[in-house]
């Protein structure tokens, strides 16, 4: 069994996430307290009590999802998990890349929380509300979806933003251009093409102001080589050098999340098990669609944690 630890992105959040961990394990509680202190905000209260619309705000959802992932990791470590000896790689979907780096000891939790707050604010503020949009094109391969985005642009921005799994591509850009992409996709045989309820057009060139903000924030952040290599979203290949990590985290803001290719690359290296750490099962669902030979394990609950430790022989 060769393992990659993976970390979910925005959309996996839900009110109440992490509360059972905090109530059960002091190691988890300590992570939530550390994140609250780093942000100067009782983010944990929003996570556990809502309201949902406040948790869903990009500036809250991003550090919140990271906090749950890292709380889960700390409990696993307290029960004997050593990431370096257990996993060959880490990877994360969009903001999950920050969680992956924190889990691998590349960036400390407090710094990661502050970086994600900057990232969330910058991504939200990069484009006025209503100017941008995203849409899921289902049933089309990535190459066709990218061609559709290019055709739909017509002088505006429309890019393939997320290559999530076979037949699951998200496009991002100006509202009118994304709406055109939906209609073109339907005409070209998409199983479904739907606008997504997101607050900004992530992972396209409209996010350039946010990339600039992250370049500045990351320049001052202390980053160490991770305990195991990070498979970077924008490369679908591993990196370990701190300067390379900084550059790719900046590129990631406007670049395509190459998740399908990342999972296939990992499969090519013999990775057969993907452990999704944090909240939800989005990545676990994608793994089987990308490579039927791979197993996905979602670790969300105390029972999941115990099951994983047992599976690893702990």
| Catalytic site positions | 94, 203
C-alpha to C-alpha distance for 5 and 274, rounded to whole angstroms: 6
How many whole angstroms separate alpha carbon 97 and alpha carbon 2?
Answer: 20
Closest-CA residue to 117 (of 72, 73, 61): 61
**CA 144 – CA 218 distance, rounded (Å):** 34
Alpha helices in 104-174 (DSSP H): 109-125, 142-153
271: CB partners within 8 A, 6+ apart:
2, 3, 4, 88, 89, 294
Three-class DSSP labels, 13-80: CCCCCCHHHHHHCHHHHHHHHHHHHHHCCCHHHHHHHCCHHHHHCHHHHHHHHHHHHHHHHHHHHHCC
Q: Pairing relation of β-strands 295-299 and 273-277?
A: parallel
Q: Kindly state the tokens that stand for 155.
A: 């002088």
Q: Which residues fall within 8 angstroms of residue 230, CB to CB, at 6 or more apart?
A: 89, 90, 91, 92, 97, 100, 101, 104, 106, 238, 239, 240, 245
Residue 309 CB-density burial (10 A; 0-12 exposed, 13-18 middle, 19+ buried):
middle
Report the number of secondary-structure helices (H) and strands (E) in the chain.
Answer: 15, 10
Phi-psi region of 216 (alpha: psi -120 to 50; beta: other; left: phi over 0): alpha
């Amino acid at each position: 069994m060769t393992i990659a630890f993976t970390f979910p992105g925005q959309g996996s959040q839900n009110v109440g996430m992490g509360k059972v961990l905090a109530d059960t394990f002091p190691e988890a509680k300590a992570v939530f307290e550390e994140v609250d202190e780093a942000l100067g905000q009782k983010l944990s209260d929003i996570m556990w009590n809502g309201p949902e619309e406040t948790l869903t705000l990009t500036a809250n959802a991003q550090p919140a999802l990271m906090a749950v992932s890292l709380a889960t990791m700390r409990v696993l470590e307290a029960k004997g998990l050593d990431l370096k000896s257990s996993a060959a790689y880490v990877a994360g979907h969009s903001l999950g890349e920050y969680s992956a780096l924190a889990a691998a000891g590349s960036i400390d939790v407090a710094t990661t929380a502050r970086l994600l707050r900057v990232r969330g604010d910058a991504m939200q503020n990069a484009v006025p509300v209503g100017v941008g949009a995203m849409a899921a094109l289902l049933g089309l391969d990535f190459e066709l979806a990218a061609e559709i985005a290019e055709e739909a642009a017509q002088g505006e921005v429309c890019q393939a933003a997320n290559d999530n799994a076979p037949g699951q591509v998200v496009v991002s850009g100006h509202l009118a251009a994304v709406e055109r992409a939906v209609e073109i996709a339907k005409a070209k045989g998409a199983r479904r093409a739907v606008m997504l309820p997101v607050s900004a057009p992530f992972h396209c060139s409209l996010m350039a102001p946010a990339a600039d903000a992250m370049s500045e924030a990351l320049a001052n952040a202390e980053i160490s080589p991770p305990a195991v290599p990070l498979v970077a979203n924008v490369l679908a290949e591993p990196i370990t050098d701190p300067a390379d990590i900084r550059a790719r985290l900046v590129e990631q803001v406007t670049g395509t999340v190459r998740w399908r290719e990342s999972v296939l690359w990992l499969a090519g290296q013999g990775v057969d098990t993907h452990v999704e750490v944090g909240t939800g099962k989005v990545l676990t669902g994608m793994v089987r669609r990308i490579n039927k030979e791979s197993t996905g394990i979602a670790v969300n609950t105390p029972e999941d944690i115990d099951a994983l430790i047992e599976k690893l022989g702990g």
